[in-house]
Structure 1
Amino acid sequence: MEAAQPAQHGESGEPGALDDLARAVAHIAHSDGDYVTAIPELSLHRRSTTTEPLHCIYGFGVGITIRGQKRVALGDEVFDYSAGQSLLTTADLPVVTHITRASAAQPFMGLMLRLDPRAVVQAAAEMALPPPARDGTQRAMSLGELDPTLLGAVTRLVQLLAEPRLMPQLAPLLQQEILVRLLAGRHGPQLQRLVAFGSPSQQVAQSMAWLKMNFTRPVLADALAASANMSPSTFRQHFRAMAGMSPMQYLKQLRLQEARQLMLNQGIDAGTAGVRVGYESASQFSREYARLFGAPPLRDIRRMREAT
């Protein structure tokens, strides 16, 4: 896999600049786990050991590592991001992620803030920003340093969790500030491409959103291309550039990850799970499942349950 190169550490990458944010997160995340907060778009995460690779879907939002290090693999590209760095995702992407640096003495700490595409469109329209290039498509995931002003806004948002009476009034303002600073910073061009009307990035993002909602239905790649007003070859090129995989590979991962969750959480057998997510052939489902997760469905689910 090709590793994405992180930006050079700047002021926010120095340990002291993250202390306030780390304290605010530790005030809520006392022990290992994933914490849903009173701000629906914000979640906090803590781990005292490294973890095994986990298949999941990253949605539209920004992840921040506060302590330790995390690895996210998107197709053949690997993003390693450590304390003081942010990872922006501008579409629903099937990824493999795990904590690569954590200990009881120095636990991993991170947060995820979901973004609203409509708010991005509105904020971009109100800001005097240079128009993005309309002919290019970039990966829907980008790595960057947290600049001090963005770090400050994120810290104030987490600290606001300790003031529930003020949260309804101040949380939307702080989320708006974070969004504006993302648009004005190193992640800005990627966000602008997403909202540029008629751009390849916007058209592919719309196709991804449709697939996320309709992955159980029969899908033809040529029909997807037509709906995006592109030729099949152009559509595949832009889709791969943005998602790190072809449209059919993307669809396959959506189906297989959903089937895994059905079997793990609802006790559904492999044959039923395969049919529910759109497979007509049980043997094809089992074969593709094993290729993605490293074991056939029954063995994989047993292994996951024993690990918990």
Structure 2
Amino acid sequence: MPANPQSALQRLVLRHCHQPRKATSLPNVTLFNCAQPTKPVRSLYEPRLCVVLQGRKRVMLGRTVHDAGPSQCLVATADLPVTASVTEARPDKPHLAVTLTLERLRVAEVWSTMPARPAPQGGACGLVTGALEQNLIDPVTRLLGILDRPQDAAVLAPMIEREIIYRLLQGAFGPVLAGLASDPSLTQIDRATRWLRDHYHLPFRIDDLASRVGMSATSLHRHFKAITAMTPLEYRREIRLEEARRRILAGAARVGEVGTDVGYDSASQFSREYRRHFGRSPSEEAELAQSGNAAALPDL
């Protein structure tokens, strides 16, 4: 075995990614190559595996800090508004990472066919950090190798993704990932977050959302905060503000209309919450965008 068993993975990332973030021809795979540390970026993590190969990144979920360096992984099991940054990188030794979106149905399918299924861990959590286990390196390397052979993607990529999920379920991440497949509360919170993402511009009552996902209001509130580190109302606010910023940067609408479009009844409340969230007002954001001094930072 080579001194650095991840060297082939690093070479693949360097060959196929020459920018901070690159979506690949494999729909579930994203590569990262950051030559310098980045400012904290607010991002929405879908269920995913992130493998850090070089450098270091930091992901904050609520007040909990997750640091991941070389040979470490992050696993998200729900749609999570996080704040992420690259904390260690330089031009001669950039931060390199790979993310694989974890499709719930595929995880459930693999879990259900295992002869010895890992049980979900007690107390659901939305984001965990751990070591990159050796039996993951080979399938992740083979998955990225398909980027050199795109004609193989349709047949081989789904098979290798299943293998990666199987290895995750077999290892230390198994109890966490098993929750994605079988924990009723995680499934219900997933339905709640997806409803909020699709209907962020609409008013809602906690009781109605709880009924929609088959939980009591108390249970929804408790499990939602345990998994996402925020309440449903705080989660909706995150989604609204992220969508507002996206629209302002795209110049898709006048600033005065953006707040209303994303669900705010009060322009002053929208401006106040936007400034608190991003450090500047919507008008200041629009001026920066028009001057070319504002740019959408990559989802890290």
TM-score normalised by structure 2 residue count: 0.91
**What is aligned with 1:71?**
58
Following TM superposition, by how much is the alpha carbon of 1:284 offset from its aligned partner in structure 2, in angstroms? 0.9
Residue 169 of structure 2 is matched in structure 1 by 183
The question of whether the paired residues in 2 share the 8 Å contact of 1:87 and 1:144 is answered with yes
Q: Which of residues 199, 204, 216 is equivalent to 1:231? A: 216
Aligned residues of 1:194 and 1:205 also touching (Cα < 8 A): no
Contact kept, 8 Å, 1:63 with 1:86, in 2: the verdict is: yes
Kindly provide the CA deviation profile for residues 103-162 of structure 1, in whole angstroms up to 9, marking residues without a partner as x.
01101111111121111111111012346358x432211111111111111011112211
Contact persistence 1:53–1:98 (CA under 8 A)? yes
CA contact (8 A) 1:51 1:99 kept: yes
Please point out which of 257, 269, 280 is paired with 1:272: 257
SS of aligned partner of 1:166:
helix
Instruction: Indicate the residue corresponding to 1:172 in structure 2.
Output: 158
The one-letter code of the counterpart of 1:219 is F
DSSP 3-state at the match of 1:288: helix
- Number of equivalenced pairs: 293
Match of 2:192 in 1: 207
Residues 1:100 and 2:74 are matched in the alignment: no
Distance 1:141 1:37, change over 3 A: same
Alignment partners' CA distance in 2, 1:68 and 1:302: 34
How far apart are 1:168 and its partner, in Å?
Answer: 2.3
Task: Give the distance between the partners of 1:133 and 1:110, measured in 2 at CA.
Answer: 27
Structure 2: 5+ residue stretches without partners = 296-300
Identical residues among aligned pairs (%): 33
Aligned 1:17-32 pairs, distance under 5 A: 17-29=5-17, 31-32=18-19
From the superposition, tell whether residues 166 and 194 of structure 1 become closer, same or farther in structure 2 (CA, over 3 Å).
closer
Amino acid at match of 1:55: R
* Alignment map for 1:134-145 (pairs within 5 Å): 136-145=122-131
How far does residue 15 in structure 1 lie from its aligned partner after superposition?
7.0
1:81 paired residue number: 68
Taking a change above 3 Å as real, the CA distance of residues 133 and 62 of structure 1, as seen in their structure-2 partners, is: closer
Question: After alignment, is 63-72 or 158-167 more displaced?
Answer: 158-167
1:199-255 per-position Cα deviation (integer Å, ceiling 9, x unaligned): 222211111111111111112112112223333222211110000111110010001
Post-superposition Cα deviations, 1:248-291, rounded to whole Å, max 9, x if no partner, equal 10010001000000000134232211111111111111111111
Q: TM-score, normalised by structure 1?
A: 0.89
8 Å Cα contact 2:107-2:181 kept in structure 1: yes
Partners in 2 of 1:228 and 1:15 — Cα distance?
Answer: 50
Mapped to 2, the partners of 1:252 and 1:39 lie a distance apart of: 32
- Which sections of structure 1, spanning at least 5 residues, go unmatched? 1-10
Question: What letter matches 2:14 in structure 1?
Answer: A
Change (3 A) 1:38 1:128: same
**For residue 242 of structure 2, what is the aligned residue in structure 1?**
257
Alpha-carbon distance in 1 for matches of 2:102, 2:267? 37
The aligned amino acid for 1:34 is: R
Distance 1:288 1:15 in 2: 50
Q: 1:168 to 1:94 in 2, by over 3 A?
A: same
Structure 1 residue 91 displacement after superposition: 1.3
Amino acid at match of 1:54: V
State the one-letter code of the partner of 2:173.
Answer: H
Q: Provide the rounded CA distance (Å) in 2 between the counterparts of 1:152 and 1:27.
A: 18
- The residue number in structure 2 matching 1:7 is none
Show the counterpart of 1:306: 293
Q: Provide the aligned C-alpha RMSD in A.
A: 2.0
Q: Does 1:33 align with 2:20?
A: yes
